[in-house]
């Protein structure tokens, strides 16, 4: 990769992260915004305004890459559907190209994160990689044979909606299934289970949070677990085992060299990954379980933004 620089944008369900990125994946200007509950026009305007702010800091930018929480028609650059942002049916690439006056690349946000980790991060050098991004929901990305796998219409790798428990809880993302991985091991699932545990154990750190303001979030559970609260640790370990059950299915299906786990929930680190690895070691088929590495992302919450920048670079070179 070489200059000029590009802008990478990671648009999640609750946050917007953008950066001016050079060919060495160094971020020169960073913009982080939180959002929730906005309509379609407001979401699009926020994205445009964020890129325009980045352009004022780096007028030499040649292209823009977007990772969005949506099923993306890769050939046409349109958003097919999205449960976290109101982008269904939006001709995203053409719209943003027109609004910004620059070439635009777009893909699913977890695909972008998978690309960053496989090209330059925790799975660098591996040809077959599974990516899971754990946040409000769970996104998934696949790199198979060294290339991002998108499926026949761009709707592949919705790994968060893989059913782990057919009689489990309803999905937070509004999918028609029950007991999908997102419903069991996402930040939202950890918050739900933490609230239940707090009611059962009012003398715990989580119980005291409920007594004070009645709210348990994934962040609250994470902070309590990292501080050593036994009830929060049990909630996290349970989510880790569920995550491991989901990863077991992915290891059996794809025989990857590496499974990379990223997203905001990975602030829990080994508290979540260790029980997940234990389940995979016990339940996945040989030889896949012996060869796979299950690791935290190298880039943390920057994976999607850096992957979006890589999309722009690779499209510029005709490798998309």
Query: How crowded is residue 26: how many other Cβ atoms within 10 Å of its Cβ?
Result: 11
Q: Please give the domain boundaries of the chain with CATH numbers for all domains.
A: 6-114+301-316 (3.30.420.40), 125-297 (3.30.420.40)
How far is the C-alpha of 216 from the C-alpha of 198, rounded, in Å?
8
Q: Is the backbone peptide bond immediately before 70 cis, with ω within 30 degrees of 0?
A: no
- Asked if pLDDT for residue 9 goes beyond 70, the answer is yes
How far is the C-alpha of 149 from the C-alpha of 205, rounded, in Å?
43
How far is the C-alpha of 309 from the C-alpha of 213, rounded, in Å?
41
pTM assigned to the model: 0.91
Q: Which range is least confidently modeled, 3-12, 88-97, 266-275?
A: 3-12
How far is the C-alpha of 144 from the C-alpha of 245, rounded, in Å?
21
Residue range 49-55: mean pLDDT, rounded: 95
Q: Token digits for 132? A: 């899971």
- Report yes or no: 286 and 252 within 8 Å, Cβ to Cβ: no
How far is the C-alpha of 44 from the C-alpha of 104, rounded, in Å?
14
Q: Which candidate, 196, 272, 199, places its Cα nearest to that of 233?
A: 272
pLDDT at residue 152, as a whole number: 87
Residue range 213-241: mean pLDDT, rounded: 94
pLDDT at residue 318, as a whole number: 67
Residue 251, helix vs strand vs coil: helix
Given pLDDT bands bounded at 50, 70 and 90, which one contains residue 3?
Answer: low
> What is the 8-class DSSP label of residue 227?
T
């Amino acid at each position: 990769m070489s200059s000029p620089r590009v802008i990478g944008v990671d648009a999640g369900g609750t946050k917007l992260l953008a950066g001016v990125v050079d060919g060495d994946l160094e971020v020169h200007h960073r913009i982080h915004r939180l959002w929730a509950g906005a309509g379609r026009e407001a979401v699009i305007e926020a994205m445009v305004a964020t890129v325009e702010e980045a352009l004022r800091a780096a007028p030499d930018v040649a292209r823009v890459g977007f990772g969005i929480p949506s099923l993306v028609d890769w050939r046409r650059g349109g958003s097919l559907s999205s449960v976290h942002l109101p982008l269904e049916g939006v001709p995203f690439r053409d719209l943003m190209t027109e609004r910004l006056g620059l070439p635009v690349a777009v893909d699913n946000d977890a695909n972008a994160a998978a690309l960053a980790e496989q090209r330059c991060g925790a799975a660098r050098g591996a040809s077959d990689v599974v990516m899971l991004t754990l946040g409000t929901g769970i996104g998934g990305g696949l790199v198979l044979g060294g290339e991002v796998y998108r499926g026949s219409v761009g709707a592949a790798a919705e790994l968060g909606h893989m059913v782990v428990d057919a009689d489990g809880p309803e999905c937070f993302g509004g999918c028609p299934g029950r007991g999908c991985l997102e419903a069991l091991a996402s930040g939202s699932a950890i918050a739900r289970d933490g609230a239940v545990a707090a009611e059962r154990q009012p003398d715990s750190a989580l119980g005291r949070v409920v007594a004070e303001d009645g709210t348990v979030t994934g962040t609250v559970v994470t902070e309590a677990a990292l501080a050593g609260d036994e009830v929060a640790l049990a909630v996290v370990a349970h989510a880790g085992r569920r995550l491991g059950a989901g990863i077991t299915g992915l290891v059996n299906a794809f025989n990857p060299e590496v499974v990379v786990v990223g997203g905001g929930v990975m602030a829990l680190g080994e508290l979540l990954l260790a029980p997940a690895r234990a389940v995979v070691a016990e339940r996945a088929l040989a030889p896949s379980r012996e060869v796979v590495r299950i690791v935290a992302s190298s880039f943390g919450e920057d994976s999607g933004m850096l992957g979006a920048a890589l999309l722009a670079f690779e499209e510029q070179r005709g490798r998309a």
